[in-house]
Amino acid sequence: MSDALRAYPDPERKRLIRSVFERSRIDEVAEAISVASGEQKLLYVERVADGYRWGLVHAGGLYPVLRITARFLRMSHDCLIVGRRALEDTGLSLLCKDIHNPEPPLEWALLELEAPLTADEAAELIRRGVGG
């Protein structure tokens, strides 16, 4: 089946995107960022009290966030609903679970990527960006 016609996310990508919404270990977030780095050159990462999260970001608002999320999940954007919030003073929109009550991070950073990363490289960038 063509990626453009998929109504459901790729199971592995679905597993990886959970760390956008749930507090996760650094190795889980690094794995997801490593996979996303094959398509995205700008990603968000945050450190919270007991873990990390990451996010897909775009300067164009909700629709581009929807499109890049669908691309990451390898599914049709017509079959997906996402939430997004504005990222403080950046002009970027961020994929978000609860747009009305986002949990503030202890630290956050934007990761500007020049090439795809391994999970170890992603973990190092996370540590440099938000500590841990």
Mean pLDDT of the 4-24 span:
91
Tell me how many degrees the CA angle 98-87-66 measures, rounded to the nearest 5: 60
How far is residue 118's CA from residue 57's CA, in Å, rounded to a whole number? 20
How far is residue 120's CA from residue 13's CA, in Å, rounded to a whole number? 19
Using DSSP, state whether 32 is helix, strand or coil: helix
Partner residues linked to 44 by β-bridges:
55, 110
Select from 42, 75, 46, 74 the least CA-distant residue to 56: 42
| pLDDT tens digits along 25-76 | 999 999 999 999 999 999 999 999 999 999 999 998 889 999 999 999 999 9
Q: Is the pLDDT of residue 80 over 70?
A: yes
| Residue 112: band (very low, low, confident or very high) from pLDDT cuts 50, 70, 90 | very high
| Residue 5: band (very low, low, confident or very high) from pLDDT cuts 50, 70, 90 | low
Query: Six-digit token pair at 130?
Result: 């938000």
Select from 70, 66, 57 the least CA-distant residue to 109: 57
| pLDDT tens digits along 96-110 | 888 888 889 999 999
How far is residue 132's CA from residue 128's CA, in Å, rounded to a whole number? 8
